[in-house]
Amino acid sequence: MIFFPNMTMTRYTYTDNGTGVYGETIKSYSQAGQITVDFQNEGNAELAKQYGVERKNLYKIYMDIHETLMDEDVLVDTDGNQYQVIGEIQEYNHFHMYKLAHLVHCRGDKLCQ
């Protein structure tokens, strides 16, 4: 699989931001850098096979295997659209050395929730 990076996305990761009044850990999203990805729409044939439904708001990204991306991260494109990782991030480390992640377009503002 050869991928062609066509977009730079800002990565926000879920981190500890302190301790609350009762000693609980307070977590929120904080900016963790940018990643260069090959951003593509999911094909409906692939979706019907994997999920049993046809969806219009699912995407997939290919990136270099050395890029950092976690399952709970939120990605933001240059237009301000927010995407959340669904499923597991797959690593292919044999020949082409890349990662594959499936994304869903978030409704509303995930970073402010």
pLDDT in tens, 20-53: 888 888 888 899 999 999 999 887 666 656 665 5
CA nearest 105: which of 50, 62, 59? 59
CB atoms within 10 A of CB 58: 21
pLDDT in tens, 1-19: 667 889 999 999 988 888 8
Residue 110 pLDDT greater than 70, yes or no: no
In the chain, how many domains are there? 1
pLDDT in tens, 47-102: 656 665 556 788 999 999 999 999 999 999 999 999 999 889 999 988 888 999 99
Q: CA-to-CA distance for 44 and 27, rounded, in angstroms?
A: 36
Does 13 reside within a domain?
A: yes
Does 55 reside within a domain?
A: yes
Q: What CATH number does the domain containing 56 carry?
A: 2.40.10.270
Does 1 reside within a domain?
A: no
- Domain with 59, as residue range(s), is 7-108
Can you name the residues that pair with 11 across neighbouring β-strands? 33, 75
What one-character DSSP code corresponds to residue 71? T
Does 2 reside within a domain?
A: no
Q: Which residue has the higher pLDDT, 108 or 62?
A: 62
Strand ranges for the chain from DSSP E: 7-19, 25-41, 58-64, 74-76, 82-92, 98-105
